[in-house]
């Protein structure tokens, strides 16, 4: 197991390296200059590109970038926030997005699992139908529309929550965005839980357990949930990453200074700030790869059959 | 004693005794269809989706306006009036304003276009985008996931690393690069959906495959000498269809939302073309003051999603009838 | 299930339509102001956007400032002298302090100006020969020794600028953020690249100081600067900015009382106008932004060589109903414009009349006249031997208004000019800029914000060597007039220069290099308890120095 995990981590680092290279090349193909050009003459643009080292061969640029990354820096922005060092700014944004993201994951997973389990146990009855509707509505309404609804009713009609995000009043002002963000997670998780549970509940060994006299919560927890969890974990892992990496529209509406907004600013501003896009993408990828790594290891813990399979392979 | 003639004999094989007419067997898909149509929810879903599709196909054809027509009248002094932001109305001859005699079932948008026509036109565009993109995604994602899950080891490792690389390029970056080579519009949206959405599908397929490949029937099949691809596509694939269809049903709203997000950042459907996503997007800007503008597209989306989900459930249960035994 | 769903939707409709409540803005004791977009940079050398310039001007005073009428009055400079030939300005500084206690000296200006030229960011062009004409600025921008720049500080309270040519609007230029000082000692004491990224790394000498700010912040808090030279006249203790990107959101937050000052557009303006209570708070201010269609006239342009034909351009320009655009889709008080310089902009120093006062001046080439447009089109078809024109119109869709405008233009042009097709291509700002500057478009919707209060801020756009949004149009006579008026013979003759600029504008519009559309406007909701916010068309958009809260 340790050897497998070590190998897996090594692979992940290698993957991250390749990703960095691919992103590095792709971002340089993107249309748009890395700095605002509206009022610049052609000469000034050339001069500026030279200053940023953009006229060097791409491999040389990449080597420079990697050596900078390895020294623990993401460099400076090319235009955003007057070319200040990226790391502190990005960290601050990441923390904001993380806080909201963690809240919505907790909320989404708890409610989603609960709805899914209740629906599966009451299959075909009224509660099942209600759960289905709740989970379908969740995927029908875009989270930002839901966010506006919440904002309209709970900070305008009934001024209960602050109208905009306020870091000094974190808990009260993060409920609405995390609630709207968790909507999609709730419905995805609920539906998957229900389907997987039904599948497992119908399997022979559960029937055997039932025949042995196990019933109720004990049966669900010991025999059903454990087996139903594998595909659910597959759904949750990418959800976690996408929730942690911020929601561009909601962050914009609610005034949260998070990474989603930072990414939009870096791409859709006056210029494409290469270094911000690159730094953010690398961090997102690292998160994603990390999540996949954890997922694979979790697989082994939850389902011994998979561990066996990898040993053979 | 009479000699036996040829006519006295008949071939016993002419009478097909192997056919049991009391308990006729059914084809696999016929069985699925029977199970499916026996399910009231599934049929409701099918009806809902069909109604929307019918409207999407025919409503724009028979409407008195085109989806991109800005409706206006010019009064005697030559001043032009545009029928913009009218709430839903049914034409009446009483002349209160210039458009009192016209019917706008869903009202008009803030450009002065008929929302009824635009909603159905949008539904049409969104359905096309979603179907094309998700169908191709399903083909790619499922095969990819099954192959990756079945072979395991090096193959799985390589394929999963590729997914990690592909999955970690931000959508906005991919799209703006694609936009260099393609015109903005439906094609670009489909292409970007193709690039980003198949990964989820392959993950589900892989997880299912990991679960199934250790089953006895796969082992039996392998012992009998079946090739890998035979096992993957003939033995494992049919058993993964349930989760995959569920995933397809979830991918359709994701496809429509992604499209809406693309219009938000300026690379989606090109106006005055419209889609459900871009209509929601447009209505979103006026949601508190002109709420009727966002309601039709959201309602259509909700009905579509409800329908697709019910169909998905129906299919799932019909494909694996064992669930009905419960 | 469908029934339940429909009931829910119906309920939602009812709640929404039933709750058109018109809570008037609450008497919030703290001033909260909407900012339409993020502040990109607090470093005056890097700032390129309206929001950044505004925030910098809140915190830092320049040599001059704009009064409520938009005239330049002294700020840090107590007075200034101009030499006979108009080429040397000597500013006498007053006693002012940075927030860390250092006095503001002429060296702070010398440092900032040299640094701006040396850094050669986007706005360094205002130092150069098309605008301020500071001696050697262009050379320094291209890499010469910054010490050669024509600025000097003979003593800590005297700042001398030498110019290459007399610039009639030089004092009003000094209100622009690029010309503001930076404390050199402080700048060198903080980590490289960290200037202006937090309240600790930013020094103010103006009316307000940063209380809370991080790059990209959605909420920015300002506090009154007690060491400001004019602190006695600042009546608020501070205020906050909130970044709000949607007009709908802005309106609700105003009704809610969360924000006291918000900008709204389009539908929200109409909504407010229909509401008796709310409409009392509505005010409109011209923004000086000119919206125009740029025609790419490069004959080699792969899909639109046709636009090098002047008649086709004239046809399109005359087929657009600008009044309809403004009244139906922009709505916020914008004015249809038929000149290359926006209305309500650049008053003549002697007569006080705006440069583009007479909107009919070029009505023979810029107007809405379908029959004339079709005549032009017929000529174009004959000259080009083509009947169908497929043109691409690119625009940056960062707001709702431009999306509506381009759709209306498409609809009008296609209806009025049979055979002309317009394909809309929306794109993010950076991609849009890269396309317009790299010859990769047919038609582009451009908005240009004046940087200083003179027609030249627009007219220099279309010289051969001018701005990078290149229409690929070049006219020797036009270039000569502009050159004469900036650094040439006409520079010091106010009336002759003014008239020459009209000649240049005529050349421009006769050739239909662009099709002007409208002059932008700000529709603003201001709480009744807030007074004294000053809006300007050029340079700094809003000034809060005289703001009062009741």
pLDDT at C381 over 60: yes
Whether residue C509 contacts residue C339, with contact meaning beta carbons closer than 8 Å, is answered with yes
Write down the pLDDT at residue C13: 43
Q: Which domains does chain B have, with CATH numbers?
A: 38-69+119-325 (1.10.3720.10), 71-112 (no CATH)
Write down the pLDDT at residue B324: 43
* Cβ distance of C1 and B295 shorter than 8 Å: no
Chain B, 155 to 184: residues with Cβ < 8 Å from chain A are 156-157, 160-161, 164-165, 167-170, 172-174, 176-177, 179-180
Write down the pLDDT at residue B13: 61
pLDDT at B284 over 50: yes
Whether residue C23 contacts residue A161, with contact meaning beta carbons closer than 8 Å, is answered with no
Q: What is the DSSP string of C58-85?
A: HH---SEEE-TTS-EEESSEEEEEE-TT
Choose the closest CB to C120 out of A47, A88, A257. A47
Write down the pLDDT at residue C169: 85
pLDDT at C179 over 80: yes
pLDDT digits (tens, 9 = 90+) for C446-461: 888 888 888 888 888 8
Chain B interface includes C411 (CB < 8 A) = yes
Supply the pTM of this predicted model: 0.84
Alpha-carbon dihedral B67, B73, B74, B76, rounded to 10 degrees: 170
Chain A, 241 to 280: residues with Cβ < 8 Å from chain C are 252-253, 255-257, 261-262, 265, 267-272
pLDDT at C16 over 50: no
pLDDT, mean of residues A202-226: 76
Average pLDDT, rounded, for chain B: 79
Average pLDDT, rounded, for chain C: 85
pLDDT digits (tens, 9 = 90+) for B57-76: 998 888 888 888 888 777 77
Smallest Cα distance from A20 to chain C, Å: 23
Provide the 8-state DSSP code for C478: H
Q: Percent of chain C scored above 70 by pLDDT? A: 93
* Cβ distance of A18 and B161 shorter than 8 Å: yes
pLDDT at C481 over 70: yes
C23 pLDDT band (50/70/90 cuts)? very low
Write down the pLDDT at residue C25: 38
C109 pLDDT band (50/70/90 cuts)? very high
Pick C396 or B78 by higher pLDDT.
Answer: C396
Write down the pLDDT at residue C462: 86
pLDDT digits (tens, 9 = 90+) for C385-395: 888 888 889 88
Tell me if residue C350 falls in helix, strand or coil: coil
pLDDT digits (tens, 9 = 90+) for C205-220: 989 999 999 888 888 9
From chain C, the residues in CB contact with B261 under 8 A are none
Write down the pLDDT at residue C525: 92
Q: What are phi and psi of C391, to 5 degrees?
A: -115, 150
Of B128, B106, B129, B127, nearest to B118 by C-alpha is B106
pLDDT at C92 over 90: yes
List all residues 6 or more positions away from C70 whose beta carbon is below 8 Å from its beta carbon.
Answer: C453, C536, C537, C538
Chain C: residue nearest A250 by CA?
Answer: C245
List all residues 6 or more positions away from C500 whose beta carbon is below 8 Å from its beta carbon.
Answer: C481, C484, C485, C490
* Cβ distance of A156 and C256 shorter than 8 Å: yes
Q: How many CB atoms neighbour CB B20 within 10 A?
A: 8
Write down the pLDDT at residue B265: 65
Enclosing H/E stretch for C394: strand C389-396
Smallest Cα distance from A312 to chain C, Å: 49
Chain C interface includes B287 (CB < 8 A) = yes
Long-range contacts for B55-59 (Cβ within 8 Å, ≥24 apart)?
Answer: B55/B120, B55/B123, B56/B120, B56/B121, B56/B123, B56/B124, B56/B127, B57/B124, B59/B116, B59/B117, B59/B120
Extract the tokens encoding A163: 């109208």
From chain C, the residues in CB contact with A132 under 8 A are 1
pLDDT, mean of residues B153-172: 81
Among B79-83, C41-45, C539-543, the minimum mean pLDDT is found in B79-83
Pick A217 or A64 by higher pLDDT.
Answer: A64
* Cβ distance of B266 and C2 shorter than 8 Å: no
pLDDT at C181 over 90: yes
C interface test, pick of B98, B110, B265 with most C CB neighbours within 10 Å: B110
pLDDT at C17 over 60: no
Chain B: residue nearest C328 by CA?
Answer: B82
Question: What angle in degrees, to the nearest 10, is found between the helix axes of C476-486 and C494-510?
Answer: 160
* Cβ distance of A44 and C124 shorter than 8 Å: yes
From chain A, the residues in CB contact with C216 under 8 A are 80-81, 89, 93, 257, 261-262, 265
Whether residue C46 contacts residue A82, with contact meaning beta carbons closer than 8 Å, is answered with yes
Pick A293 or C228 by higher pLDDT.
Answer: C228
C89 pLDDT band (50/70/90 cuts)? very high
Write down the pLDDT at residue B18: 58
Q: What does the alpha-carbon distance between residue A54 and residue A39 come to, in Å, rounded to a whole number?
A: 20
Chain C interface includes A38 (CB < 8 A) = yes
Chain B, 129 to 148: residues with Cβ < 8 Å from chain C are none
pLDDT, mean of residues C260-283: 89
A190 pLDDT band (50/70/90 cuts)? confident
ipTM strictly over 0.85?
no
Write down the pLDDT at residue B323: 44
Chain A interface includes C529 (CB < 8 A) = no
Write down the pLDDT at residue C160: 93
Pick B124 or B24 by higher pLDDT.
Answer: B124
Choose the closest CB to B165 out of A19, A27, A312. A19
User: In this complex, how many residue pairs, one in chain A and one in chain B, have their CB atoms less than 8 Å apart?
Assistant: 147
A312 pLDDT band (50/70/90 cuts)? very low
Q: A: neighbours with 3+ CB pairs under 8 Å? A: B, C
pLDDT at B92 over 70: no
Write down the pLDDT at residue C517: 93
From chain A, the residues in CB contact with C28 under 8 A are none
pLDDT at C188 over 80: yes
pLDDT at C364 over 80: yes
pLDDT, mean of residues C7-14: 46
Choose the closest CB to A284 out of B168, B210, B243. B168
Write down the pLDDT at residue A228: 75
pLDDT digits (tens, 9 = 90+) for C217-227: 888 999 999 99
Pick A166 or B125 by higher pLDDT.
Answer: B125
Choose the closest CB to A230 out of B207, B213, B250. B207
Burial readout A48-84 (b: 16 or more C-beta within 10 A, e: otherwise): beeebebeeeeeebbeebeeebeeeebbbbbbbbbbb
Listed ranges B76-85, B147-156, C148-157; the one with the highest mean pLDDT: C148-157
Chain C interface includes B309 (CB < 8 A) = no
Chain A: residue nearest C120 by CA?
Answer: A44
Q: What does the alpha-carbon distance between residue B289 and residue C252 come to, in Å, rounded to a whole number?
A: 9
Chain C: residue nearest A51 by CA?
Answer: C119
**CA angle (C452 as vertex; C447, C457 as ends), nearest 5:** 55
Smallest Cα distance from A241 to chain C, Å: 23
Chain A, 79 to 138: residues with Cβ < 8 Å from chain C are 79-85, 88-89, 92-93, 129, 132-133, 137
Write down the pLDDT at residue C387: 85
Write down the pLDDT at residue C469: 64
pLDDT digits (tens, 9 = 90+) for A97-153: 888 888 888 888 899 988 888 888 887 778 888 887 777 777 677 787 888 888 888
Whether residue A166 contacts residue A96, with contact meaning beta carbons closer than 8 Å, is answered with no
Write down the pLDDT at residue A308: 47
pLDDT, mean of residues A273-277: 86
Q: What is the DSSP string of A109-128?
A: HHHHHHHHHHHHHTTTSHHH
pLDDT at C22 over 50: no
**CA angle (B25 as vertex; B23, B28 as ends), nearest 5:** 150
Q: What does the alpha-carbon distance between residue C254 and residue C77 come to, in Å, rounded to a whole number?
A: 38
Pick C164 or A232 by higher pLDDT.
Answer: C164
Q: What does the alpha-carbon distance between residue A116 and residue C292 come to, in Å, rounded to a whole number?
A: 56
Choose the closest CB to A140 out of B167, B210, B302. B302
From chain C, the residues in CB contact with B302 under 8 A are 5, 9
3-state per-residue secondary structure call for C6-49:
HHHHHHHHHHHHHCCCCCCCCCCCCEEEEECCCCCCCCCCCCCC
Chain B interface includes A15 (CB < 8 A) = yes
From chain B, the residues in CB contact with A313 under 8 A are 152-154, 156
pLDDT at C2 over 50: no
Write down the pLDDT at residue B250: 66
pLDDT at A287 over 70: yes
Q: What are phi and psi of B73, to 5 degrees?
A: -130, 155
Pick A94 or A237 by higher pLDDT.
Answer: A94
Chain B: residue nearest A184 by CA?
Answer: B254
Choose the closest CB to A270 out of C1, C5, C430. C430
Pick C25 or C185 by higher pLDDT.
Answer: C185
Chain C: residue nearest B266 by CA?
Answer: C427
Pick B274 or A270 by higher pLDDT.
Answer: B274
Chain B interface includes A230 (CB < 8 A) = yes
Pick A77 or C21 by higher pLDDT.
Answer: A77
pLDDT digits (tens, 9 = 90+) for C307-329: 888 899 999 999 999 988 888 88
């Amino acid at each position: 197991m340790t050897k497998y995990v070590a190998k897996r981590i090594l692979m992940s680092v290698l993957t991250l390296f390749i990703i960095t290279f691919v992103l590095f090349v792709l971002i340089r193909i993107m249309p748009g200059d890395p700095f605002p050009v509206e009022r610049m003459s052609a000469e000034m643009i050339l001069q500026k590109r030279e200053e940023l080292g953009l006229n060097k061969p791409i491999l040389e640029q990449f080597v420079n970038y990697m050596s900078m990354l390895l020294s623990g820096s993401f460099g400076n922005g090319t235009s955003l926030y007057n070319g200040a060092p990226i790391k502190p700014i990005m960290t601050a944004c990441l923390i904001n997005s993380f806080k909201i993201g963690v809240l919505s994951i907790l909320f989404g997973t708890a409610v989603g699992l609960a709805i899914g389990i209740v629906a599966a146990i009451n299959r075909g009855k009224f509660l099942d139908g209600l759960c289905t509707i709740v989970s379908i509505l969740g995927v029908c309404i875009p989270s930002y529309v839901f966010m506006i609804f919440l904002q309209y009713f709970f900070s305008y009609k009934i001024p209960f929550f602050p109208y905009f995000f306020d870091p000094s009043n974190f808990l009260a002002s993060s409920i609405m965005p995390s609630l709207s963000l968790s909507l999609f997670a709730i419905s995805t998780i609920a539906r998957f839980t229900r389907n997987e549970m039904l599948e497992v509940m119908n399997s022979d060994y559960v029937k055997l357990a039932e025949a042995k006299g196990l019933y109720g919560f004990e049966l669900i927890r010991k025999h059903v949930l454990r087996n139903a969890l594998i595909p659910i974990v597959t759904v949750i892992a990418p959800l976690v990453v996408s929730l942690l990496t911020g929601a561009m529209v909601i962050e914009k509406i609610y005034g949260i200074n998070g990474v989603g907004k930072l990414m939009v600013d870096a791409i859709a501003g006056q210029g494409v700030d290469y270094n911000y896009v690159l730094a953010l993408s690398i961090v997102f990828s690292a998160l994603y790869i990390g999540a996949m790594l954890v997922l694979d290891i979790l697989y082994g813990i939850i389902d011994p059959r998979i561990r066996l399979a990898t040993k053979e392979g | 004693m009479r000699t036996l003639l040829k006519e006295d004999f008949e071939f016993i094989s002419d009478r097909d005794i192997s056919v049991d007419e009391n308990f006729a067997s059914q084809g696999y898909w016929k069985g699925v269809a029977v199970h499916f149509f026996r399910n009231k929810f599934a049929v409701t879903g099918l009806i809902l989706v069909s109604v929307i599709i019918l409207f999407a196909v025919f409503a724009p054809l028979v409407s008195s306006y085109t989806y991109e027509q800005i409706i206006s009248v010019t009064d005697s002094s030559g001043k032009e009036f545009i029928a913009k932001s009218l709430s839903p109305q049914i034409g009446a001859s009483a002349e209160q304003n210039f458009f009192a005699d016209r019917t706008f079932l869903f009202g008009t948008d803030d450009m002065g276009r008929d929302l009824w026509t635009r909603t159905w036109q949008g539904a049409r565009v969104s359905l096309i985008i979603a179907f094309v993109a998700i169908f191709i995604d399903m083909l790619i994602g499922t095969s990819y996931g099954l192959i990756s899950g079945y072979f395991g080891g090096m193959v799985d490792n390589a394929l999963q690393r590729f997914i990690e690389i592909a999955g970690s390029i931000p959508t906005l970056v991919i799209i703006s690069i694609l936009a260099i080579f393609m015109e903005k519009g439906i094609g670009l949206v489909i292409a970007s959906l193709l690039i980003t959405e198949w990964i989820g599908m392959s993950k589900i397929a892989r997880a299912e495959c990991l679960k199934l490949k250790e089953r006895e029937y796969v082992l039996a099949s392998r012992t009998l000498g079946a090739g890998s691809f035979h096992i993957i596509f003939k033995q494992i694939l049919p058993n993964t269809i349930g989760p995959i269809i569920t995933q397809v049903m979830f991918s359709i709203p994701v496809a429509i939302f992604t499209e809406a997000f693309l219009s938000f950042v300026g690379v989606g459907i090109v106006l005055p073309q419209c889609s459900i996503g871009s209509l929601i997007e447009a209505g979103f800007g006026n949601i508190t003051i002109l709420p009727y503008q966002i309601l039709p597209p959201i309602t259509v989306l909700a009905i579509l999603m409800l329908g697709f989900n019910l169909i998905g459930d129906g299919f799932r249960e019909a494909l694996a009838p064992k669930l009905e035994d419960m | 299930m469908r029934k339940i769903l429909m009931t829910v939707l119906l309920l939602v409709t009812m709640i929404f339509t039933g709750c058109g409540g018109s809570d008037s803005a609450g008497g919030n004791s703290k001033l909260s102001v909407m900012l339409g977009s993020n502040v990109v940079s607090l470093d005056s050398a890097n700032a390129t956007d309206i929001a950044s310039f505004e925030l910098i001007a809140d915190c830092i005073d320049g040599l001059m400032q704009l009064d409520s009428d938009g005239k330049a009055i002294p700020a840090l400079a107590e007075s200034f002298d101009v030499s006979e030939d108009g080429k040397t300005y000597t500013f006498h500084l007053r006693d002012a302090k940075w927030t860390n206690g250092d006095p503001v000296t002429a060296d702070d200006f010398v440092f900032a100006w040299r640094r701006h030229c040396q850094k050669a960011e986007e706005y360094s062009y205002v130092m150069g020969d098309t605008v301020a004409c500071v001696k050697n600025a262009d050379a320094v921008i291209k890499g010469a020794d910054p010490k050669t720049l024509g600025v000097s500080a003979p003593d800590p309270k005297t700042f001398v600028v030498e110019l290459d040519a007399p610039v009639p609007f030089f004092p009003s230029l000094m209100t622009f953020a690029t010309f503001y000082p930076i404390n050199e000692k402080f700048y060198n004491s903080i980590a490289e690249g960290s200037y202006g990224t937090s309240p600790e790394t930013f020094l103010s000498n103006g009316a307000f100081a940063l209380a809370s700010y991080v790059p990209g912040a959605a909420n920015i808090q300002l506090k009154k600067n007690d060491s400001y030279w004019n602190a006695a006249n600042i009546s608020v203790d501070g205020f906050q900015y909130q970044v709000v990107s949607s007009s709908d959101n802005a309106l609700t937050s105003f009704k809610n009382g969360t924000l006291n000052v918000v900008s709204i557009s389009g539908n929200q303006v109409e909504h407010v106008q229909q509401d008796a209570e709310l409409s009392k708070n509505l005010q409109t201010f011209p923004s000086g932004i000119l919206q125009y269609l740029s025609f790419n006239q490069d004959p080699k342009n792969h899909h639109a060589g046709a636009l090098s034909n002047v008649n086709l351009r004239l046809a399109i320009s005359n087929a657009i109903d600008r009044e309809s655009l403004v009244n139906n889709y922009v709505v916020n008080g914008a004015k249809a414009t038929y000149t290359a310089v926006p209305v309500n902009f650049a008053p003549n120093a002697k007569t006080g009349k705006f440069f583009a006062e007479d909107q009919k001046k070029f009505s023979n080439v810029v107007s809405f006249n379908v029959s004339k447009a079709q005549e032009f089109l017929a000529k174009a078809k004959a000259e080009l031997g083509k009947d169908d024109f497929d043109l691409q119109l690119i625009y940056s869709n960062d707001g709702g208004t431009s999306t509506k405008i381009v759709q209306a233009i498409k609809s009008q042009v296609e209806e009025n000019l049979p055979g002309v097709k317009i394909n809309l291509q929306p794109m993010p700002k950076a991609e849009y800029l890269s396309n317009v500057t790299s010859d990769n478009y047919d038609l582009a919707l451009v908005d240009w914000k004046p940087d200083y209060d003179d027609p030249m801020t627009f007219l220099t756009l279309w010289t051969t060597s001018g701005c990078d949004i290149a229409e690929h149009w070049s006219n020797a006579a036009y270039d000569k007039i502009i050159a004469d008026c900036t650094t040439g013979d006409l520079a010091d003759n106010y009336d002759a220069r003014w008239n020459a600029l009209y000649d240049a504008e005529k050349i421009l519009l006769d050739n239909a290099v662009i099709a002007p559309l409208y002059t932008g406007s700000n529709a603003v909701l201001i709480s009744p308890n807030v007074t004294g916010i000053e809006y300007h068309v050029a340079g700094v958009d809003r000034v809060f120095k005289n703001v009062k809260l009741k």
